[in-house]
Amino acid sequence: MKKVLTIAGSDSSGGAGIQADIKTMSALGVYGMSVITAITAQNTLGVHAVQEIDLDIVEKQLDVIFNDIEVDSIKIGMLASGDIAQLIKNKLVTYKCKNIVIDPVISSTSEFRLFKDTALTKLKDLIGIADLVTPNIPEAEILTSLKIENENDIITVAKKIKELGVKNVLIKGGHRTDNSCTDTLLLENGEIIEFLGEKISTKHTHGTGCTLSSAIASFLAKGYSMEESVKLGKDYITLAIKNSFPLGKGVGPLGHLVELYEKASIKY
């Protein structure tokens, strides 16, 4: 079994972060492991508080994993601070890690700031060693200080992000204003591939970014190419969104484990 490590924050409501990552990895047949960078007080209505994990504990989590277990791919999500981003970069370089996928979590869906503006330089440094970065449109605009208003802008921004050193860039289309969910992938060789997406009528989309990046990391670990991994990741998240469900009073989670639920005859 392939082994995938998620480095991210914990979501107490279970819909995003570490919890969504582990569910996704389990659904896709890889063994999920975690390094927790922050704890959030979070529910379906939003993020209410964040507590960073001490640097020495983050470092120890990384060391005990890499000194014992072969890691086939890595998904990186919420890092909370520049110091944590710098530590992660140093460790991944030291351990010569492969198949690094970064979801640059800067703000939550409810616009709670999860990463400090003053730390963006260190986040960009970390992105520079990745195999893939998966920003949505607002995140891509923050990373480049450029505005995205049309398809040409998406390509321009993707190329600008690639200048950070990352091999491949996936600009997610969920925030597009043209009634499209098309994602744009800029490959290492300069080729641009568009993945057409459908608008799914549901408000229950908590944890989509975490889920997609974890799915792509899982497929990379299993030996698929970057293009194949993105396509398969898109297929998985589309299924998960179609099977999302209400929970609490706000934005519900995705159906990460829909096949298990169906086998167990669970209604949700």
The residues carrying an active-site annotation are 172, 205, 207-210
| Closest CA relative to residue 231, chosen from 188, 181, 196 | 196
For the stretch 220-223, contacts whose Cβ atoms lie closer than 8 Å and that sit 24 or more positions apart, written own/partner, are 220/72, 220/73, 220/99, 220/101, 220/131, 220/132, 221/2, 221/3, 221/4, 221/30, 221/72, 221/73, 221/99, 222/2, 222/28, 222/29, 222/30
Give one DSSP letter per residue of 147-215, joined into a string: ---SHHHHHHHHHHHHTTT-SEEEE--TT-SSS---EEEE-TTS-EEEE-------S--BTHHHHHHHH
Q: What is the CA 125 to chain-centroid distance, rounded?
A: 17
Give 142: exposed, middle or buried? Use CB within 10 Å, 0-12, 13-18, 19+: middle
Query: Which residues touch 90 (CB under 8 Å, ≥6 apart)?
Result: none
Q: Kindly calculate the radius of gyration of the chain based on its CA atoms and give it in whole angstroms.
A: 17
